A = this chain, B = another copy of it.
C-alpha cells in the first residue's frame, strides 16, 4: 500500500477519522469547486489578484454572477477580498486549492488515457458494457 501522504505540515485527519458532520463540511468544500465558473475564477486569480470588473470582462459574464461566486469562494477561505476605493480586489487565500485541482487533472488524464487505450484495442462500434 504505497499510500502517499499529501499533507505534511498539519495533523491532517483522514477520511476514516471523520464523523458525519465533518463529512458534510468536506462535501461543501468540494461543492464550492464543482462549478466551472468558479474554477475559471480561481484559474484567473492564479496569475495575480484582480478586481471584480476585470474578472467580469476576462470571464465574459455578468458582474452580479462574478460577485456571487466570489462570495462562495470567500466563504470557504479560498480567496480574500481587499477593498480599494470603490473597487474590490480578490486574491488567492489558500494556494493549496490548486493542489486539489492538479490532482484531479492528473487523475482525469490517466483515466482518459486508459479509456482511449480501451477504445483503441476494440473493433469500432464495440461497447465496453451492457
Chain A residues engaging chain B, CB cutoff 8 angstroms? 3-7, 10-16, 18, 20, 22-31, 33-36, 38-40, 42-43, 46, 77, 94-111
Contact = CB atoms under 8 A, between A and B. Distances in A.
Contact of A102 (B6, B30, B43): B6
B27 A33 contact: yes
Q: In the assembly, how many copies of this chain are there? A: 2
A-B interface, 8 closest residue pairs, ranked by CB to CB distance from nearest: A31-B34, A12-B106, A7-B106, A30-B34, A30-B33, A15-B101, A27-B36, A23-B39
B109 A11 contact: yes
Nearest to A35: B27
A105 B96 CA distance: 12
Nearest to A94: B107
B33 A20 contact: no
Contacts of A106: 6-7, 10-13
A3 B95 CA distance: 8
A102 B39 contact: no
